A and B are shown apart, each in its own frame.
Chain A
Amino acid sequence: KQEVTQIPAALSVPEGENLVLNCSFTDSAIYNLQWFRQDPGKGLTSLLLIQSSQREQTSGRLNASLDKSSGRSTLYIAASQPGDSATYLCAVRPVNLGSGTYKYIFGTGTRLKVLA
């Protein structure tokens, strides 16, 4: 059974610091991995999607990598800003037979606080 873990659960950093958020999954048979941002009381905003054949994706100050063999993904945030404060979640879409292929498995998130 696929499980997704995000450690640490919470992180505080000073403004301007480069930081890495981690996402681990137990089964390497995945279609893709997606990173999201969630602000308090809001829905999830898609940040980056990495297909299983890709190693990384970049968008602005964000870079996400994927290593299926080790079951790991990292989200790198460069030059962090107070506006980056949010909860960051990762989700994998496992390769499954039947209707299970539509499911996404989510981590519980890392709550990031960037201090001004």
Chain B
Amino acid sequence: DVKVTQSSRYLVKRTGEKVFLECVQDMDHENMFWYRQDPGLGLRLIYFSYDVKMKEKGDIPEGYSVSREKKERFSLILESASTNQTSMYLCASSSDRRWGAGELFFGEGSRLTVL
């Protein structure tokens, strides 16, 4: 089974702190995604990556950056956390190279609270 693992389920940070959210997948997927989910706004794409060291902005990239140094790992970075970044962050991965192409698999989510 595909497994997408997010390093922290719950985090509490202070305004201005640098925050790292880590995501690892074990199925050799080339595509990885970071979303945030807020009540009433649904899922919004922050960044995605379709290959190592490749990244593309999603719909709401402001205030975030990403890193993909290895195929299995995709990190989301909040350079200076703000209270409006309090949210549920969801990592996902997919592959277009096998049956079920494009099926999206999600991690358990990271609930970030910025005080």
- Tier of interface size on chain B: 20 to 34
Tell which of B42, B101, B109, B111 touches A106, judged by Cβ atoms closer than 8 Å: B42
Taking a contact as CB atoms under 8 Å apart, the answer to whether B50 and A46 are in contact is no
Q: Majority SS of interface residues in chain B?
A: strand
Count of CB-CB pairs between chains A and B under 8 Å:
56
Taking a contact as CB atoms under 8 Å apart, the answer to whether B58 and A43 are in contact is no
Query: Smallest distance from the beta carbon of A87 to chain B beta carbons, Å?
Result: 11
Q: Which residues on the B side are within 8 Å of A104 (C-beta)?
A: 33, 45, 104
Total interface residues on A, CB under 8 Å, equals 23
Most buried by B among A31, A36, A42: A42
Tell which of B42, B56, B103, B108 touches A102, judged by Cβ atoms closer than 8 Å: B56
- Whether B43 sits at the interface, judged by CB under 8 Å, is yes
- Whether A108 sits at the interface, judged by CB under 8 Å, is yes
Taking a contact as CB atoms under 8 Å apart, the answer to whether B104 and A46 are in contact is yes
Tell which of A32, A46, A108 touches B105, judged by Cβ atoms closer than 8 Å: A46
- Whether A2 sits at the interface, judged by CB under 8 Å, is no
Q: List 6 A-B contacts (CB under 8 A).
A: A32-B102, A34-B102, A43-B6, A102-B33, A103-B45, A104-B45
Apart from A34-B103, A46-B104, A99-B56, 19 more pairs, CB < 8 Å: A34-B102, A36-B106, A43-B4, A43-B6, A43-B107, A43-B109, A44-B104, A44-B106, A45-B106, A46-B105, A49-B103, A89-B43, A91-B104, A93-B102, A102-B31, A102-B48, A104-B33, A107-B42, A108-B42
